[in-house]
Amino acid sequence: MTHPSRLTSPLFIPLSMGKIGLWKAMGKIGLWMALWIGLLLWATIAASPAWAGSRLLGTGGVTQIEGAAGGGLSPWGVLAGTASEGEWAITASRSEARLDDYRLTASGVALNWQDRLEVSFARQRLGLDTLGGELQQDIHGLKLRLLGDVLYHPWGVWSLGVQHKRLDDGSLARAVGAESTQGNDIYLSGSKLLFDAVAGRNLLVNLTLRSTRANQGGLLGFGGDRESSRSLVAEGSVGLFLTPNWVVGVEYRQKPDNLDFAREDDWQDLYSAYFFNKHVSLTGAWLDLGSIAGLDQQRGGYLSLQVAF
Amino acid sequence: MSLVHRLIVIALLALLLSGCMQRPTPPTPTLYAQLGGEAGVAAIVEDFTYRLAGDDEVVVFFANSNIDRFVASLEEQICHLSDGPCVYSGPPMDRAHQHMGITDAHFNALVEHMQQTLIDQGVPPGPRNRLLGRLARLHADIMSLQ
């Protein structure tokens, strides 16, 4: 894509109308904030319960950094929002991670059709605060619910997903030894809520198996000089619903290590997600992403806001 | 055996017996008791039924129902499910909901009403989630003949 990406707002509204003076003056951040505040107000005040899906609060998870319904780092078996049979849901999210030497932002939208198919899009920007520069990646996702239900089925819910990832500018990825600048992750994900599991609270358990060639999730390209083929990696999380609105837990995401120039570590985090209602959730996490592009011990905070209809 | 020995043995036996008597394993209350027994379950079912009556999406399924019989049957079923002194005598769940056109969305709505009922009736998280878990297992039967 040759469009001037910096002029495109994170929610993909072209700022060509930004030529109008007032909008231009508001700037990218101003417009972005106004949009979000508007959406939030709409979500909390104007939206009637009829706008929400019927699935229980929290059963759609939040938005993971690649745009799928999940935790923060890993997709879950559940589909976005609270849509069920005969219902639709749409979610929009904005996430930001601030690490020691990097800053990652991810903006995503996802559509859920009848709790059967989830179509998602996410745009990631990784600011290389220490190394200099910025990387951008687009991720188109599909997730198909194969069987089950996170609450009602003895085996939980199981879904098959694919994430098509494409780096905007692959020159850095190629320079560090990546083989290609786009790739497809395929994953199988299962989620199950265990009622009255710990201290009377419900425990959400997730497992994801992913086949991938992505280096650092794709931001450093796909395949590499050390390992070119696909790896099968496991991702998992547990979360305890302290109340019906509030879940806290841990996540772990195994990763391949394809590049010779620098070691790649697994990712992990501690998270807390609060569902104000079926329309607004806020997630905070403490991340430990290990070594990224030669800079060790990348730790930091994560904040993610999701609105859903 | 000297008197002293005899006394020691008696004292030890007494100690042992009293120890047994003073530390009976406290009977874990049944879920039924934790829900408040007969009165608690009746209050839950009444509250829940009013919520169903107020939900336009759900109330249509009760158009031809005898509400008194529904209430009695649900009380009995929750009593049974929560290890109370009842045996559910109503129709099996699959036949009771046969061809009613119930979707997951309707089922979800009922679960949500039940969850809110239990919260508003002051049922603590443990018993609340345990009952919800047992009710959730009925999903397969209720949906099997739709």
Domain ranges across chain A: 1-46, 51-308
For residue A88, the chain B residue with the least C-alpha distance is: B105
For residue B130, the chain A residue with the least C-alpha distance is: A196
Phi-psi region of A186 (alpha: psi -120 to 50; beta: other; left: phi over 0): beta
Nearest by Cα to B104 from A158, A150, A192 = A150
Decide if A141 contacts A164 (C-beta within 8 A). Answer: yes
A&B contacts, CB < 8 Å: 60
State the first-to-last Cα distance of chain B, in angstroms, to the nearest integer: 79
Which candidate from A56, A196, A200 shows the least CB-CB separation from B108? A56
- Fill in the amino acid letter for B131: L
B102 touches chain A (CB under 8 A): no
> Which chain A positions have a beta carbon within 8 Å of B125's beta carbon?
200-201, 243
Rounded Cα gap, residues A224 and A255, in angstroms: 13
Which residues are A304's β-sheet partners?
A95, A283
pLDDT of residue A1: 38
- Fill in the amino acid letter for B129: N
CA distance A4 to chain B (A): 44
Rounded Cα gap, residues B101 and A100, in angstroms: 55
Rounded Cα gap, residues A256 and A178, in angstroms: 13
pLDDT of residue A18: 41
> Which chain B positions have a beta carbon within 8 Å of A201's beta carbon?
125, 129
pLDDT of residue A52: 83
Rounded Cα gap, residues A158 and A176, in angstroms: 36
The list of chain A residues with pLDDT below 70 reads: 1-35, 37, 40-50
Task: Show the domains of chain B with their CATH numbers.
Answer: 29-144 (1.10.490.10)
User: What is the architecture of the domain spanning A51-308?
Assistant: Beta Barrel (2.40)
For residue A86, the chain B residue with the least C-alpha distance is: B105
The list of chain B residues with pLDDT below 70 reads: 1-25
At A37-95, the pLDDT tens digits run: 677 666 665 555 557 899 999 999 999 999 999 999 999 999 999 999 999 999 999 99
Rounded Cα gap, residues B69 and A256, in angstroms: 61
Helix axes B125-136, B67-81, angle to 10 degrees: 110
Enter the ipTM: 0.81
pLDDT of residue B7: 56
Nearest by Cα to A216 from A108, A137, A286 = A137
Helices (H) and strands (E) in chain B, counts: 9, 0
Nearest by Cα to A61 from A288, A302, A219, A281 = A281
Decide if A251 contacts A269 (C-beta within 8 A). Answer: yes
Q: Say whether B105 and A87 touch across the interface (CB within 8 A).
A: yes
Phi-psi region of A95 (alpha: psi -120 to 50; beta: other; left: phi over 0): beta
At A238-267, the pLDDT tens digits run: 999 999 999 999 999 999 999 999 999 999
> Which chain B positions have a beta carbon within 8 Å of A84's beta carbon?
103-105, 108
- Token pair listed for A134: 């910025």
